[in-house]
Amino acid sequence: MSEAEVLLSAKDLTKRFGGLAAVSKVSVDLWRARIHCVIGPNGAGKSTLTNLLSGDLPPSSGSIALGRHDITHASPELISRRGLGRSYQKTNIFPTLSVWENVRLAAQSRSLQQPWNPRRWLQRAAGDQRVNQRAERALELAELTARRDFIAGAASHGEQRQLEIAMTLATEPQVLLLDEPLAGMGVAEAERMVELLLRLKPHHAMMLVEHDIDAIFALADHLTVMVNGTVIASGEPAAIRADAGVQAAYLGEEH
C-alpha cells in the first residue's frame, strides 16, 4: 500500500435515534501517514461518529469501507480483525494485571483467529512467541518497556492512556480511532502523548476526537468541525482556524 492510500472511507453517514439525527450525512476519509482530527462542542456527534466507524453503532444510512472491505454493517470484532483499532473516552484496561499482561492479552486476541489446532490447547498461552513478539513491539512503540512489570491500575493516568494505545497496537491495526486520548492529562503527560501519536503517524491512518486545541493544531493534517451532528467545515487546519463560522461556533468558545 502506498502512503497516499485512503485506508478508511465513510460516505454520508447518518445515525438517527428516533427523530434525532446524532450524525447527519457525514463523510470522512482517513489516509495513511495523516492525522485527521474531529472537533466540536459537546453533543456535536463526534463520539457517535467514532462509534459508527468502529461498528459499536450501526448507521441508519451511509457506507463505510475499510481498505477493500465494506464494513458498513460488520461487527466490531470483524472490523477489528480487518485492521481497525480504537480507544475510548474512559480508559479501558485490566487494572489488576501488569502492564505486560494487559498488552499480551490484547496480542493474544489475534491468535484466537488462527485455524483451530488441538495442540494449541496443550500450550501455555504465555509461551506463544508470536504473541509475545507482538506484545513486545507494542510496548516499545508506546515507550512502556520500562514499566512492563507495574500493576496497570497503579500507573499514572497518562501511562494508563499509553497502555490502552499499546493494547490497541498489539492487535496490529492500520487505522486508529482515538477518542479524547489527552483527556485529563497534565502538560507533561499531554506532551508525551503528542510525541507518541507523531511516532505512530507514518504507519497508520489516524482519527482523533479531541478538545485540546493546542494538541489538535500540533497534530492535525486535516480538521473536521462538527456542530449538532453535521460537518460545518473540513480542510487544512490553517484554513479551518481562520474560518469565521468555525470561530463563532467553536473555536471562539475556547479562548
The Cα 35–Cα 208 span in angstroms is 7
pLDDT of residue 6: 96
In a domain, 195, yes or no: yes
pLDDT of residue 2: 44
Residues 165 and 118 in one domain: yes
pLDDT above 70 covers a percentage of the chain that reads 89
pLDDT of residue 255: 39
Residues 155 and 186 in one domain: no
Residues 167 and 184 in one domain: no
Residues 131 and 162 in one domain: yes
In a domain, 230, yes or no: yes
Number of domains in the chain: 2
The CATH number that applies at residue 224 is: 3.40.50.300
Identify the domain boundary among 121, 139, 172.
172
Residues 104 and 79 in one domain: no
Give residue 82's Cα distance to chain centre.
Answer: 14
User: 164-184, pLDDT tens digit by residue?
Assistant: 999 999 999 999 999 999 998
Is residue 140 within 8 A of residue 169, CB to CB? The reply is: no
Q: What percentage of the chain's residues is helix, strand, coil (to nearest 5)?
A: 40, 25, 30
Positive or negative: CA dihedral 89, 90, 94, 95: positive
The Cα 192–Cα 234 span in angstroms is 27
The Cα 255–Cα 251 span in angstroms is 7
pLDDT above 90 covers a percentage of the chain that reads 78
pLDDT of residue 80: 95
Q: What is the overall mean pLDDT for the chain? A: 90
pLDDT interval class at 1 (50, 70, 90): very low
Residues 109 and 168 in one domain: yes
The Cα 5–Cα 89 span in angstroms is 28
More confident residue, 181 or 120: 181
| HSE toward the beta carbon, residue 117, CA cutoff 13 A | 9
- The per-residue b/e assignment along 77-114, b for 16 or more CB within 10 angstroms, e otherwise, is eebbbbbbbbbbeebebbeeebbbbbbbbbbbebeeee
CA-closest candidate to residue 80, choices 113, 47, 37, 48: 113
The Cα 36–Cα 38 span in angstroms is 7
pLDDT greater than 90 at residue 49:
yes
pLDDT of residue 167: 96
pLDDT of residue 129: 86
Question: What are 116's three cell numbers?
Answer: 483451530
Crossing angle of helices 187-200/157-169, nearest 10°?
10
Residues 73 and 102 in one domain: no
In a domain, 242, yes or no: yes
pLDDT greater than 90 at residue 123:
no
User: 207-251, pLDDT tens digit by residue?
Assistant: 999 988 889 999 999 999 999 999 999 999 999 989 988 888 766
In a domain, 88, yes or no: no
Identify the domain boundary among 172, 196, 230.
172
Residues 164 and 117 in one domain: yes
Residues 126 and 240 in one domain: no
Close Cβ partners of 241 (under 8 Å, ≥ 6 residues apart): 217, 251
Segments forming the whole domain that contains residue 36 = 1-83+175-255
pLDDT greater than 50 at residue 119:
yes
Residues 179 and 79 in one domain: yes
The residue behind cell 451511509 is 62
pLDDT greater than 90 at residue 3:
no
pLDDT of residue 245: 84
Distances (CA, A) of 85 to 99, 165, 168, 193, 199: 19, 9, 6, 17, 16
